Amino acid sequence: MRLGTALRTARVVTVLVGADLSADEAVSPADSQEREWVDIEPSDIATPEEFRQAPERVWRWYMSRRASIARRSPFPALLALNDLLQRLPRTHLITGNVDGMLERGGTPVRPLELHGSVWRTRCMGCGRVRADTRSAHPELPPRCTHCGGILRPDVVWFGEALNTHVLDQAVRAACVAEVMLVVGGRVNHQPAASLVAHARENEALVVEIGLDARAGGLCQLALPGPPEDTLRALVRQGLTRPPDPAAPE
């Protein structure tokens, strides 16, 4: 099997985790805490303009999202991916999801979060970035304990550019990949598409894994179906090395 050979021999495998594996879904009208946000599109509220005008409202929306994400368990596909990652050689992990679910699921590889994370704040005064797992703050917008500046969610809002440092790392991870797995997303959707193009310049084997996986264009191999089933099968079929107990966390 072409993929098995590629996974066994590749020196670097880069994995892109797409929006299908995001826990950060549309709000549930059945949840009274979230009813306020039912008709709100993320593009209406996750913007610098909205934050300038109504930071308290934007923060309440993010608190609702945090609470919603916190109620969910890591998806089986993420757990299956972790198992696979432990059996691969050097790996890079990239996602556009902001839910922090890869780390909550115990990923052995630190993900590059292209769009940031709802579980961090960034100070608009001093720029400090801090972990913040609270789903409620006594004061909104919260303030920086260092400089007193307003804290914003450390996410990339609509109309903002990606963090160049994170993007550079992601491009490097794509450029050195010999296999690129796109799990739970489409290779022709951004932010995957531009990274996949870099991987193809290195003649990487690009594989789409997910319910709607389809080969074509930049994607050479498609493994359609529930991604957890596909990922478990890759491990079960011995297409990867056994996990290395000495591997760094």
What radius of gyration do the chain's Cα atoms show? 19
| Minimum CB–partner distance for residue 134 and Zn ion (Å) | 17
Question: Which residue's CB is nearer to Zn ion, number 37 or number 119?
Answer: 119
The DSSP element (H or E) to which 120 belongs, if any, is: strand 116-123
Residues in contact with Zn ion by CB under 5 A are 123, 125-126, 144, 146-147, 149
Q: How many CB atoms lie within 10 A of CB 31?
A: 14
Question: Which residue's CB is nearer to Zn ion, number 33 or number 145?
Answer: 145
CB distance 124 to 149 below 8 Å: yes
Q: Which of 115, 165, 189, 198 is catalytic?
A: 115
Question: Which residue's CB is nearer to Zn ion, number 149 or number 225?
Answer: 149
Which residues, other chains included, contact 228 with Cβ-Cβ below 8 Å and sequence gap of 6+?
A: 75, 76, 77, 79, 80
| Minimum CB–partner distance for residue 108 and Zn ion (Å) | 32
Question: Which residue's CB is nearer to Zn ion, number 130 or number 134?
Answer: 130
| Minimum CB–partner distance for residue 141 and Zn ion (Å) | 12
Active site residue 198: no
Phi and psi at 206, nearest 5°, equal: -105, 125
Q: What is the DSSP string of 146-191?
A: TT-PBEEEEEPPTTPPPPHHHHHHHHHHHHT-SEEEEESS-TTSTT
Strand partners, 155: 116
| Minimum CB–partner distance for residue 65 and Zn ion (Å) | 23
Q: Which residues are catalytic?
A: 115
